[in-house]
Amino acid sequence: MQKLSNDIIVILGASVFLLLITLFIVILLMAYKRRDYKHLKEKMLLEEDFNNQLLRSQIEVQEQTFSQIGKELHDNVGQLLSTSRMLMGLAERHLKTPPDTLITANATLGKAINEIRSLSKSLDKEWLSQFNLIENLKAEVIRVNGSGVINASLHIQYEPSLPSSKRIILFRIMQEAIQNAIKHSGCNNLNISITKKEEHIEINISDDGTGMKPGIMKKGMGLDNMLYRVKLLGGHIVYKSSEKGTRVTIFIPDKPEKDENQDSPRR
C-alpha cells in the first residue's frame, strides 16, 4: 500500500514536471513567435516607408519636370507664337482685303496661344499650389471643351479637404485619366464627378467611347504612374471598360490635414 502511494506520488510529480516543461516550451515558442512577428512588422513598416519615400522622390522629380516644361511652353514656344501672330496681324492691316485663310490662320493661332498658356499653368506646381482642386479642374474642363471635339462636364457634390501637396497629386491623377479618355477612348462626352462615400472621397471619370482593352490600359495609358500617385494618397483605383465606354473610379481617404504651405499663426 505504501509502495502504491509512493508510485502515485512519483507519477504525479513526473506529470507535473512534464507539464511545467511543456508550458515552458509553449511560452518560449509564443515569445519567439511574438518577437518574430514584431520584427516582421517592423521590416514591413520600414519597406513601406522606403517605398513611400521613393515614390515621393519620383513624384517630386516629375513635378519639377512638369514645371520646367510649363515654363518652356510659356516663355519660349508661347512667345514665338505670339510674335508670329503679331506679324500676321501686321500683314492683315497692310492688306486692303486680307484673304479668309489668313484671317482663319490668325484666329487659330490665337486659340493655340491660349491653349499653351492654359497648359503651361496646369503644369506649374507653384501656380497649382495657389488654387484649390475644384478651380484647377474647372480650368482643365474649360481647356478640354476649348478643343470643340469633346464635351466635358464637372459635377462637384463634395470638395475634398486636402493640403495643397495632396491636391496637386490628386489633380495629376485626374488629369492623367482625363487625357487617357481624350487620347484613347474616341469619346464624345466626358463626365467628371466628386462625391463622398462614408470616410472616402469617390471620384468618377467616365466617357462614352468605344472602350479599351486591359493591355492597352496597362501599357499605353500611364496606369502605373496613376497607381503610384494614388498609393501615396492611401487610396486605390477601379477600372471598368466596355463597348459603351470606360469608367475610372478613384477612392481616396478623406483626412483633413493642415496645409504645409500655410503660414503658422503669429503670436
pTM of the predicted structure, to 2 decimals: 0.57
Q: Which domain holds residue 48?
A: 1-123
Pair (13, 59) in one structural domain: yes
Q: How many domains does the chain have?
A: 2
pLDDT tier, 61 (very low <50, low <70, confident <90, very high otherwise): low
Share of the chain above pLDDT 90, in %: 12
Give, in order, the Cα–Cα distances in Å from 125 to each of 67, 160, 169, 184, 223.
6, 19, 10, 26, 21
Which range has the worst mean pLDDT, 4-8, 113-117, 130-134, 187-191? 4-8
Highest mean pLDDT among 30-39, 65-74, 176-185, 245-254: 245-254
Pair (158, 99) in one structural domain: no
Which strands, in side-by-side order, build the sheet including 245-253?
151-156, 189-197, 200-207, 245-253, 236-242
Pair (149, 224) in one structural domain: yes
pLDDT tier, 155 (very low <50, low <70, confident <90, very high otherwise): very high
Pair (233, 165) in one structural domain: yes
Pair (167, 235) in one structural domain: yes
Domain-located, residue 85: yes
Q: What is the pLDDT of residues 207-260, one digit of tens each?
A: 998 877 655 555 545 677 788 888 888 899 998 888 888 999 999 988 755 544
